Amino acid sequence: MPENALVFLHDNLEAGQYAKLAAVDNPEVHEFVAGQIALCRPDSVFVCDDSAQDVEYLRRAARDRGEEIALALEGHTAHFDSCYDQGRDKKNTRLMVPPGTRLGGDINTIEQGPAREELSRLMAGLMQGREMIVRFFCLGPTSSPFSIPCIQITDSAYVAHSEDLLYRKGYEEFRRQGSSARIFRFIHCTGAVDERKTCIDIKDRRVYIDCLGRTVYSVNTQYGGNTIGLKKLAMRLAIFRAEQEGWLTEHMLLMGVHGPGGRKTWVAGAYPSMCGKTSTAMIPSETMVGDDIAYLRALDGVVRAVNVEAGMFGIIQGINAVDDPIIWDVLHTPGHQLIFSNVLISDGKPHWIDMGTPLPPHGHNHSGAWTPESLGPDGKKVPPSHPNARFTLALSDLKNTDVEALENPGGILVRALVYGGRDSDTWVPVQQAFGWEHGIIAKAASLESETTAATLGKEGVREFNPMSNIDFLSVPIGRYVGMNLEFGEHLTTPPGIFGVNYFIRDRQGKFLNQRTDKVVWLKWIELRVHGDVKARRTPTGFIPLHEDLEKLFADALGKPYSLQDYEAQFMLRIPENLAKIDRIVKTYRESVPDTPARLYEVLEEERQRLLSAREQLGDYVSPERFPVE
C-alpha cells in the first residue's frame, strides 16, 4: 500500500483521470485504488465519472478489445466465456474469516491470512498490458436509507458494461457522501486469455469475499456470476452488514399484484433455482420491480423493500414468444442495450435452446465454430447454446417494470412474503402461515426444493434451502433464521407469509397445476392480505375456499376450476407433511448447532396439529373438511 495514496495516484494517473478520482473526497477510495494499481500494475487507468462520453468509451472498448461482438440489431452484443468458465465457481468461492471461525453448514470459508497471501501471489502484475477500469455504482436507489455505494475495479470492459446495465450509476453518490460513505469494494482481474479473449488459467480461478473488509476479490474468470461482484457476491457483504444493523438481504423478487379497483399490492418472493421465480416476476398481467435480490427494512412498523439492482442477468434457455412475451420483445427490439452471453450466433443473430423457433445449422458459440455434430473438449456434443447462457438488460426496457417504484428512495410497502420450492407431494399450491413466527419457521426456514434430472442427473432429491438463500449466506444458518425472527419484532403491521408450490403431483406423478395457474395463487394472496376473502384453517396454514378460486380462475385465466381440481390440489397429505417436519428437524439438529429453540417448538406444534387431524380425519383429508375463518 503506498504511503500517501493521493500523491501516488497523482504520479501514476493521467491528469484527467486523476482529477475525476480526486473529486471523490473519500480517503478509503483513494487507498483502495492506489493499492490495486501497485499490486496489479496496469499499463493505464480509466476512471468512469458516469458522463455519457465515459460510459460510451467503455461500451466501445468492450467491442474493440474483443470481449463483445456487435450483433445485427442496433445496441445488441454477444460475449463468450471459456468452456470451463460457465457458472458460479462454488468450490473456489470462499468467505475470508478470522482464524478459528466456523460458520457451519456448507458455507465455504478460508482464513484471512492464507487468502490474502494467495491473492497477492495470483494478482501480482496480472493487469500488465491492460487498462484498469474504475467504476462507481450504488446498490439500491441513490439518496436512500437503502443505498450502499460500491467501487468496482476491473480490467474487463465487458464486466464494466454489464454492470452499467445492472446497477445505478454511483459517481455522484460517492461525491455526495464523501468520506462518510460506508462502501463495498470489488476488484476483478481477468487473468490470461486465449485468442478468443476467454480465460485459460481456470485452475487458479478464485472468488474470495472479505466481509470484515467489505471487499470481493475475483481472479482468473470472466463469467458474470463470478465477476459482476455487485450481484450474488455482494449479497454476502450485505447479509453480514444486515445482521449487524437489523435489516434483511434476501434472494427475492419484488412485484405488484393488481387487485380490485386498480389496487396494486407489493409482494416479495423467494424461490430456489428452477422453481418459477423469474416467470412469477414476469407474469404479463402484473407489475415488476425486481426478479432477484432485495433489501428489506422495518420502517415505521412496516416492511419496505428495494430492488438492489436496476437490471436483469437472466437465464435465456427456454425464453420464447408464447411464455415470455415481455422479455422476448426486448430481446428482439433494436435500440436497447443488451448483452447475450454464451448463445449461438449465426448471421449476426442470437439463438438458444428451446426458443421456439428452428435453430440454424451452423454458427459460433462459446466453443468456437459450431454445427450439430461439434464435440467439446470432453468428447461430448456441444449444445448450440450453453444451458447457463444469459441475457443482460436494463429493467427500464421491460414494459412491465414500474420504474417510479423501482427508483423510489423509500422503497415499496411489502404486504406479503412468498416462499416457493419444487415439491411433488407435500405443500398445497398456496397457503398462508398463521403469523410471522410460524411463517418464518414453517415456510421460509423449512423451504426445500427437489432437483431435476436436467440439473443434476438425478431427479427428486430434496435440497434444504432456507429462504432460498443458503448459497449466499455469510452468517451461520441458525443466526440467519434468528435474524428473520427478530426482524418481525420491529413490525406493528407485518406482511402475511405464504407458501406456494407450482409442482404438486398426484400419486401417478401427473402435475396438478398448469404453468399459468400461478397468477391465480398470487391474486388470492392479494385479496387475502387485504381481508377480502376468508380461508379454511388447516394444521399447516390457511388455504383458499373453492368458490374464491373458481372466480379467480374465470377472471384471470378465463377457464373453469372444478371442485375436483380443488380437492386434488388442496388435499392435506398428512404423512408427507409429517415426513417433511422430520427431515427439517433432523437437518437443523445435525447441521445447524446454533438453531433458535423456537424453531423446534413451532415445528413440534405443527406436528401435533397434524397428528390430531390424522386421528380424527385420516391420512389424506379433503380441504372441505376444514373450518372456514
pLDDT tops 90 at residue 296 = yes
Least confident of 71-80, 286-295, 369-378: 369-378
pLDDT tops 90 at residue 442 = yes
In this prediction, residue 452 carries a pLDDT of 63
In this prediction, residue 515 carries a pLDDT of 87
In this prediction, residue 101 carries a pLDDT of 84
pTM for this model (two decimals): 0.95
The closest alpha carbon to 165, from 289, 339, 340, 404, belongs to: 339
Are β-strands 148-154 and 184-189 bridged in parallel, bridged antiparallel, or unpaired? parallel
- For 122-150, write each residue's pLDDT tens digit: 999 999 999 999 999 999 999 999 999 99
Q: Which residue has the cell 434476501?
A: 250
- For 445-467, write each residue's pLDDT tens digit: 999 999 764 443 456 789 999 99
Q: Which residue has the higher pLDDT, 458 or 37?
A: 37
The closest alpha carbon to 280, from 510, 87, 523, 453, belongs to: 523
Least confident of 82-96, 430-444, 489-503: 82-96
- For 469-515, write each residue's pLDDT tens digit: 998 999 999 999 999 999 999 999 999 999 999 999 998 999 998 98
How does residue 1 score in pLDDT terms, banded at 50, 70 and 90? low
In this prediction, residue 455 carries a pLDDT of 43
- For 525-540, write each residue's pLDDT tens digit: 999 999 999 999 999 9
Instruction: Walk me through the domains of the chain, giving residue ranges and CATH numbers.
Output: 5-68+86-245 (3.40.449.10), 249-309+407-625 (3.90.228.20), 313-396 (2.170.8.10)
- For 259-291, write each residue's pLDDT tens digit: 999 999 999 999 998 788 888 999 999 999 999
How does residue 217 score in pLDDT terms, banded at 50, 70 and 90? very high
pLDDT tops 90 at residue 111 = yes
Q: Is 276 exposed, middle or buried (0-12, 13-18, 19+ CB in 10 A)?
A: buried
In this prediction, residue 89 carries a pLDDT of 85
Range 389-406 average pLDDT: 97
In this prediction, residue 280 carries a pLDDT of 94
> Can you tell me the distance from the alpha carbon of 336 to that of 396, in angstroms, rounded to the nearest whole number?
10
> Can you tell me the distance from the alpha carbon of 172 to that of 168, in angstroms, rounded to the nearest whole number?
11
Residues annotated as catalytic (active site), given as ranges: 275
The closest alpha carbon to 17, from 51, 40, 46, belongs to: 46
Beta bridge partners of residue 505, listed in sequence order: 511
In this prediction, residue 103 carries a pLDDT of 82
> Can you tell me the distance from the alpha carbon of 329 to that of 344, in angstroms, rounded to the nearest whole number?
19
Give SS3 for 71.
coil
Mean pLDDT of the chain: 95
Give SS3 for 346.
strand
Q: How would DSSP label each residue in 507-543? A: TTS-BSS-GGGHHHHHHHHHHHHTT-S--EEETTEEE
65 in Cβ contact with 157 (< 8 Å) = yes
In this prediction, residue 457 carries a pLDDT of 47
The length of the chain is 629
> Can you tell me the distance from the alpha carbon of 281 to that of 338, in angstroms, rounded to the nearest whole number?
20
In this prediction, residue 443 carries a pLDDT of 98
In this prediction, residue 109 carries a pLDDT of 93
H or E stretch at 206: strand 206-210
46 to 24, 50, 56, 60, 161: CA distances (angstroms): 15, 12, 13, 14, 14
In this prediction, residue 83 carries a pLDDT of 84
Range 39-58 average pLDDT: 98
